Structure 1
Amino acid sequence: MILGLLALHFVIKEHNYVSSLYFYTFPLPVIILLVLLFSIVLTKQWRRYNLIIASLLLLTWLSRSFKIHIPDTISKQDLEVVFWNASRDNTFEDAFKENGNIPDVLVLVESPKNNLQSFKKQYSNDYYYKSDKELFIFSKTPLDIISEKVSNYNTTVINFKTAGINFYAVDATGSPDVPRKWELTYINQSIKEKNNTVVLGDFNTPYESSYLKQLKTDFNQAFNKKGNGFRETWFYNLPLLSLDHIWVSKDLKILKTEKIHTFKSDHNILKTYIKR
């Protein structure tokens, strides 16, 4: 069983629909836990080998997921960009509170409780956009919505411009009966701009996925580039899967990236600062 899970994680991955389901269900932290639990039923001699395997896997996971970077100096002119899967219970104001301030650009997904009429009265000098699929955009500078696309299985990609930068806001469907290959192919095809561009959202796909290869080629993953701590954003502050991402084109400079822990959603908040 353990050998099969290791082969699945490191070699097979998303070879087909069935293997992809197991690949998402058994991330490396879960495999490490299973290896340790399996040690209970082994003899002393075999338990030692099992613990060695668990130690090697732990080192592998830490080397891939735990990041240490020195942040650059941030000025008032630099752009603060925040993304959060609000888990259907949180609004713009909840995001502001959890973030500790009002960012320059904020994208929320799964946020149906926003009362924009009331919100606009309080923040009358700012700009907002509501999609048809529980995706909301906030900006301190004027928003230019270029396109909003929705796949046959409710994956949303919104292309907008603000603060002189091109953005793609993404919310990939998380339904287990919809192959991620379909939806990530749709997302990759929707991202036309590769310069002066930020792609952010809930991809419902871990960083290790082969379907993120195109994004890894064209963009820098903000947390990998300038984050500190574990990259994983799900589940309830446990570092299991990196489902949420901010991707920044390679011509833009990432100054600092933070992951904000919260129990208001099963997803952490992601924040990055980009030099204007």
Structure 2
Amino acid sequence: MDIQPYTSTETLAVGRPWLMSMLGIETNQSITLDLAKFSENLHWTEGSRYQPERKLKSGIPLGKITASGLYAPYAAVTNEVQTLTVTGGPTGGTFTITFSGQTTAAIPYNATAAAVQTALEALSNVDPGDIVVTGNAGGPWTLTYGGQYLGENVGAVTTTEAFTGGTTPDITIATTVGGDTATATDGSQIFAGFLFAEVSFYPGHTKAAAALMVHGQIDASKLPVAFDPTDLPAGSNTHFIYGI
């Protein structure tokens, strides 16, 4: 593994904002993905009634499952996932979120996931990519940690509510996935490369052909999932230059 600093403001190829240079793409390898190993929202987006194809995001780090020879998300670490659920049916008001001693500004009770994420990123201890928020307006909101909190067992956030209406409105907080170092032993814990291009597939499909990028220049901060090259296992034979 040869990782070197690289700085660039160039963005190449629609759908691949993480790709800083086309260097080395001729070494892409043809692979087959195990679609059951990929998760909605984190790895792929749902289609629509008239265009049902699901879209796997380009740039997903991959590993190879030893038993099947298929490829799945690289499992070097497990990122903490917490869920915030509004209960009691409030009709107005606000709430705040406290994370590691820092408290957000007031957030509307029916905020979008983007608004919750913006409020969190305004904290001094949260940079873009540290906490990705998904979910519907009004919740539940799912907080997936990455960035500087990649693979860490993060303490649960707390909330303070100033809701109106409803019946004893509140927010429940649950840790659905605890952050930790790699626990996978099926081969996916060994980094193989990045999914080079977006992949379309239909509901019910279990496999898909794809291109694996094993050499090139990457801006890790723009990948679709949190990725820290310092977590790569010894013996990985891929070559990348990571953006800084």
* Category of TM-score, reference length = shorter chain: under 0.3
Higher relative helix content = 1
Higher strand proportion: 2
User: Taking structure 2 as the reference length, what is the TM-score of the superposition?
Assistant: 0.22
Q: TM-score, normalised to structure 1's length?
A: 0.20
